[in-house]
Amino acid sequence: MQLRLVPPLFLVTPAVGALGALCAESIGWPLPWMVGSMVMVIIIRCSGWNLRDVPNGRRVGQWLIASVIGMHFSAAVLSEVSNHFLMMLVAALLTLLTALIGIALINRSGVDLPTSFFSLMPANSAEMIILGERYQADRARVAAAHSLRLVLIVLVIPAAVTWGLGTGARSMPAPADWSWLAIMLPTGFAVAWLWTRIGMPNGWAFGPMLVCAVFTIVFDLHLSLPTWLSKFGQLLLGCSLGSYFDRAFFRSAPSFLAKVLLITIAAIGVAFGAGWIMSLAVDVGPMSLTLGLMPGSSTEMSLTAEALGLGVALVTAMQIIRMVVVMLVAELIYKRWERRVQARRYN
């Protein structure tokens, strides 16, 4: 009897993703190791080969990329961010208002209120799925809407900013100092694990980011990850995003997904317009503000800012403040909205 050694299917996924990343890199596509891997995995899965996500791949990718983002938080940058706190709060409320308008539109088109609301809330998808289940939202549609929105933003925004509107001045990357990284990376991993264990949201992004930011500020460090390790983190994120999609995904609820797609495109347009208008009032570049206003994930938007030479700390802070605001008020707004709907129904 001859034994055949077949590697686990999830090991094929990063190989496919790396091929897509190399293709994207060869044509100069922005963020090639995330966008290229994501697109290639989607193409292969939609062709019928059910590639699987790498177990915990997204968590490892977030840990690495969040560590890079945290290293941008010097004391001077943190001071600049704190000076723009009011502006960032206004931006968070504007993004929330845009989402509420989209929710009203999709609800009026025939989608039930719980599914409409938690599908379009600009916050972490896991928390919105959990909240949605509590109020009888369609879990599959909520997950699909968040996946589609994030993938669309990751696919479109880096290219639009790079080729259509220009980027900031890119500085040379800081060196990789393993005498510090050997302490910071494991500490960030441990904090992420503990953060998740106690039920805090998005621990694999915020935990390592906080640890690296504290080290960078306290010890006045100027360092980053090696380029190959940063690319590996992007590869894992791209493969994870691509693994949400296959032919069944697009066939599941085409009308609903089309509505989410149109509303997301509109939200992107609002973010661009608002970013430009707000830049006239504050001394911040319009593209940094635009990324901060995007209803995407803090990890992906901050990574985009880092790759395009924009205000990484500002974008990260805007995304975090937006997520905190949404998490604080989402359930309250939903309950009030639901009561009004029921009151109209019985009058």
User: Does the structure show a pLDDT above 50 at 6?
Assistant: no
Taking all residues of the chain, what is their mean pLDDT, rounded to a whole number? 86
User: Does the structure show a pLDDT above 90 at 50?
Assistant: no
Could you tell me where the beta strands, DSSP code E, fall in the chain? none
What pLDDT does residue 120 have? Answer: 93
Burial state string for 199-222 with b = 16 or more CB within 10 A and e = fewer than 16 = eebbbbbbbbbbbbbbbbbeeebe
pLDDT band at 5 (very low <50, low <70, confident <90, very high): very low
Q: What is the mean pLDDT of residues 22-42?
A: 90
Give the phi and the psi of residue 58 in degrees, each rounded to 5: -65, -40
Summarised one tens digit per residue, pLDDT across range 180-191 is 999 999 999 999
**Residue (of 23, 22, 44, 14) closest to 235 by Cα position:** 14
User: Does the structure show a pLDDT above 70 at 308?
Assistant: yes
What pLDDT does residue 52 have? Answer: 86
Structure tokens at 16: 């496919």
What pLDDT does residue 166 have? Answer: 55
DSSP secondary structure code for residue 160 in this structure: I
Q: What is the mean pLDDT of residues 306-331?
A: 86
User: Does the structure show a pLDDT above 90 at 244?
Assistant: no
- Surface-to-core class of residue 255, CB atoms within 10 Å of its CB (0-12 exposed, 13-18 middle, 19+ buried): exposed
Instruction: Give CA–CA dist 152/40, Å, rounded.
Output: 14
Alpha carbons within 13 A on the beta-carbon side of 51: 28
Distance of CA 138 to the CA centre of its chain: 22
Instruction: Give CA–CA dist 120/96, Å, rounded.
Output: 10
What pLDDT does residue 170 have? Answer: 53
Evaluate if pTM is beyond 0.85: no
What pLDDT does residue 333 have? Answer: 94
Summarised one tens digit per residue, pLDDT across range 142-156 is 988 988 888 888 888
Alpha carbons within 13 A on the beta-carbon side of 25: 12
**Amino acid letter, 108:** R
What pLDDT does residue 307 have? Answer: 78
User: Does the structure show a pLDDT above 70 at 334?
Assistant: yes
User: Does the structure show a pLDDT above 90 at 236?
Assistant: yes
User: Does the structure show a pLDDT above 50 at 245?
Assistant: yes
pLDDT band at 171 (very low <50, low <70, confident <90, very high): low
Q: What is the mean pLDDT of residues 33-40?
A: 91
Structure tokens at 198: 């106690």
Instruction: Give CA–CA dist 215/266, Å, rounded.
Output: 39
Distance of CA 290 to the CA centre of its chain: 14
Helix, strand or coil for residue 30?
coil
What pLDDT does residue 347 have? Answer: 64
**Residue (of 328, 305, 330, 331) closest to 318 by Cα position:** 305
User: Does the structure show a pLDDT above 50 at 309?
Assistant: yes
Of 1-10, 211-220, 252-261, 287-296, the least confident: 1-10
Q: Of 345 and 263, which is predicted with more confidence?
A: 263
Cα 77 to Cα 37, 104, 228, 288, 314, distances in angstroms: 32, 38, 26, 14, 8
Helix, strand or coil for residue 50?
coil
Summarised one tens digit per residue, pLDDT across range 87-140 is 999 999 999 999 999 999 999 998 999 999 999 998 877 778 888 888 999 988
pLDDT band at 7 (very low <50, low <70, confident <90, very high): low
CB 64 within 8 A of CB 230: yes
pLDDT band at 328 (very low <50, low <70, confident <90, very high): confident
Q: What is the mean pLDDT of residues 287-303?
A: 85
Q: Of 96 and 4, which is predicted with more confidence?
A: 96
